[in-house]
Amino acid sequence: MKFPIGVLVSGRGSNLEAILSHIKEGKLDAEVVAVISDREDAKALKVAENYGVDTYYIPCLEKKTVLVGEAEKKYIELFKEKGVKLIVLAGFMRIIKKDFLDAFKGRIMNIHPALLPSFKGLEGQKQALEYGAKVSGCTVHFVNEGIDVGPIILQEVVPVHDNDSVDSLSQRILMHEHEIYSKAIQLFVEGRLKVEGRRVKVLSGEVKKE
Ligand code: GAR
C-alpha cells in the first residue's frame, strides 16, 4: 500500500488537484485516502471525487476559525480509521488545536502563500503587495500550536512586479505552491525530513521512519 495521506480543504482545491495529479503521474509515492472539508460547497470535494478519492463534509459548528469540539473528534477518528500517516492542509481555513496536533504529532503540513515569517495569517499575497515587498513566495511548513510559525520545510521565492494585482501575484505564487507542496510531501514519505528545533534538515539518503 502506498503512503496514506489525509487532506483538509475548505475551498477551491487547486493544491489538492496538483497533489492528485502528481500521484497519478508517479511523481509522488502516496495515496490520498480521505479528503475532509468543513464547507459543503468546497470545489475541492469535486476535485477529489473526480480522482475517485473518498470525500467527507464534516461541519464545525462550534467556531468559525478553529477546528474544535465534536468536529475535531470526528476528523481525528476518521483519519485514524483510514490509517493516515500525514495530514496535508490544502487551503483549510481553520486553526488546528491541541487535540488534533497531539493525535498526529509532527505529521501535519501546511502551505502558506508568502515567505514566512513574513505575511502570516490571511491573504499573504495581498499583505506582500500592500507592504511593497519586491519578492514574495510560498512556504511549506510543519504545523504546530502557533499560526504559520511551524518549522519550515521548503520555500520558493516569487518576484513581485510593479504592475501586479493581488490576482496576478496570487496566480504566480500558486504555480510554485503546486510544485513545492508535492516535493515536501515526497521528502516526508521518503523519511528525509529531520526536525531539529526550528530547523528542518533535508537528508540525502532514505531514512526509515518508525
Ligand atoms: C492557497 O493559495 C494556499 O496557499 C492558501 O489558500 C489557497 C488555497 O488554494 N492557504 C492559506 O492562505 C493558509 N493560510 P487552493 O484551495 O486552490 O489550494
* DSSP code per residue over the chain: -PEEEEEEESS--HHHHHHHHHHHTTSS-EEEEEEEES-TT-HHHHHHHHTT--EEE----S-SSEE-HHHHHHHHHHHHHTT-SEEEESS--SEE-HHHHHHTTT-EEEEESS-TTSS-SS-HHHHHHHHT-SEEEEEEEE--SSSS-SPEEEEEEEE--TT--HHHHHHHHHHHHHHHHHHHHHHHHTT-EEEETTEEEE-SS-----
81 with 147, same domain?
no
Instruction: Express each pLDDT in 93-119 by its tens digit.
Output: 999 999 999 999 999 999 999 999 999
pTM for the full model? 0.96
**Ligand 1 atom with minimal separation from the 14 CA:** 17
pLDDT tens track for 56-85: 999 998 888 999 999 999 999 999 999 999
Most informative mutation of 38, 39, 45, 112 for ligand 1 (most atoms within 8 A of CB): 112
Based on the fold, state whether residues 3 and 100 are members of the same structural domain.
Answer: yes
> Whole-number mean pLDDT of the chain?
96
Is the pLDDT confidence value at 209 over 90? no
Domain that holds residue 21: 1-105
27 Cα: distance to centroid of ligand 1 (angstroms): 22
> Residue 155's domain is classified under what CATH number?
3.40.50.170
Mean pLDDT (whole number) for 178-192: 98
**Closest protein CA for atom 14 of ligand 1:** 112
Catalytic (active site) residue 112 = yes
Identify whether residues 54 and 1 lie together within a single domain. yes
